[in-house]
Chains A and B, each alone.
Chain A
Amino acid sequence: MLEKRDVLEQQTPLGQKKLIVSHAPFYHSGRRVTERSYHIILAALPALLLGFYHYGMPAFGVVCLSISTAIIWELAFNLLTRRTITIGDGNAALLGLLFAMLVPATMPWWAVITGTFIVTVVGKHIFGGIGSNAFHPVALAIAMMMLSWKDLFDFDTTLLNYDLEFATMYPLAAAKYFGAESVAKFSLTDLLMGKQLGGIGATFGLGLLIGGVYLMLRGFIRWEISLTFLAGVYLAAFVFNLSDPARFAPPAFHLLTGYTLIGAFFLATEDSSSPVNFVPMLIYGAAGGIMTVLIRSIGAWVDGVVLAILVINLISPLLDKIRPQALGKVM
Chain B
Amino acid sequence: MIKKAFLGLSTPQIEYEMLPVHLPEIAKVPTPKRITLFHQRNDAHRIPSTLGIGDPVKTGEKLSLYPDLNYYVISPVTGTIASLSPYAGDFGKSFIAITITPDGNEIIDDTFRLQIQKPTLEVLSNYLTGAPGNPPLNLLTDSNGSIKTIVIRGLDPDPMVATSQYIAQSRLKDLKKGIQILKDVTEVQDIILITAGESVQGYGHIEARVKSVKAIYPAALPHMVMKDVLGQVVPAGKTCEDLGVCFFTAEAVISIGNAFETGQIPTSKTLTYIQKDGTPHIVETPIGTPIGNVLAAFGETVNEYDRIVFGGPMTGSTVYALEHPVQPDTDSIIVVDRDKAAYVSDYPCINCGECVRICPAKMQVHMLVRFLEANQYEEAADFYDLHSCIECGLCSYVCVSKIPIFQYIRLAKYELQRAKTPEAADA
Contact = CB atoms under 8 A, between A and B. Distances in A.
B228 to A, nearest CB: 12
A26 B316 contact: yes
Q: Among A5, A35, A36, which residue has the most Cβ atoms of chain B within 10 A?
A: A5
A26 B309 contact: yes
Contact of B344 (A6, A220, A272, A326): A6
Given A25-B393, A328-B235, A330-B237, A220 B307 contact: no
A23 B366 CA distance: 20
A19 B307 contact: yes
A325 B362 CA distance: 7
A218 B354 CA distance: 13
A10 B4 contact: no
Contacts of B319: 19, 21
18 contacts: A1-B345, A4-B346, A17-B303, A24-B314, A25-B315, A25-B342, A26-B307, A28-B397, A31-B400, A32-B400, A129-B348, A131-B348, A218-B8, A219-B7, A326-B388, A327-B388, A328-B236, A329-B385
Contacts of A274: 351
Interface string B328-348: 000000101010011111111
B352 A26 contact: no
Interface in A1-42: 1-8, 10, 12, 16-33, 35-36
B346 to A, nearest CB: 5
A58 to B, nearest CB: 33
A87 interface: no
Contacts of B108: none
Interface in B340-383: 341-354, 356-357, 360-364, 366
Contact of B223 (A5, A128, A276, A327): A327
A2 B347 CA distance: 8
Q: Please tell me the size bucket of the interface on A.
A: 35 or more
A217 interface: yes
Contact of A31 (B347, B349, B354): B354
A330 to B, nearest CB: 5
Interface in A268-313: 271-272, 274-277
A10 B362 contact: no
B227 interface: yes
A274 B353 CA distance: 10
Contacts of B170: none
Contact of A130 (B7, B348, B397): B348
B233 interface: yes
A181 B7 CA distance: 43
A195 interface: no
Nearest to B358: A29
A222 interface: yes
Interface stretch (B23-31, B173-181, B260-268, B402-410): B402-410
Nearest to A281: B353
B302 interface: yes
A216 interface: yes
B198 interface: no
Nearest to B399: A28
Given A26-B307, A132-B348, A327 B342 contact: no
Nearest to B392: A25
Given A23-B317, A276-B353, A327-B390, A3 B336 contact: no
A29 B316 contact: no
A276 B281 CA distance: 41
Interface string B295-324: 000000011111111001111111111100
Contacts of A328: 223, 233-236, 238, 361, 388
Interface in A51-101: 84, 89
B8 A1 contact: no
Contact of A324 (B308, B354, B362): B362
A32 B318 CA distance: 24
B401 interface: yes
B364 to A, nearest CB: 6
A155 interface: no
Given A24-B316, A25-B314, 10 more contacts: A17-B322, A19-B320, A25-B393, A26-B313, A131-B351, A217-B8, A218-B8, A326-B388, A327-B233, A330-B237
A234 interface: no
Contacts of B8: 31, 217-220
Contacts of B56: none
Contact of A218 (B6, B302, B314, B393): B6
A223 interface: yes
Contacts of B338: 20
B185 interface: no
A140 B186 CA distance: 67
B398 interface: yes
Contacts of B410: 23
Contacts of B237: 330
A24 B306 contact: no
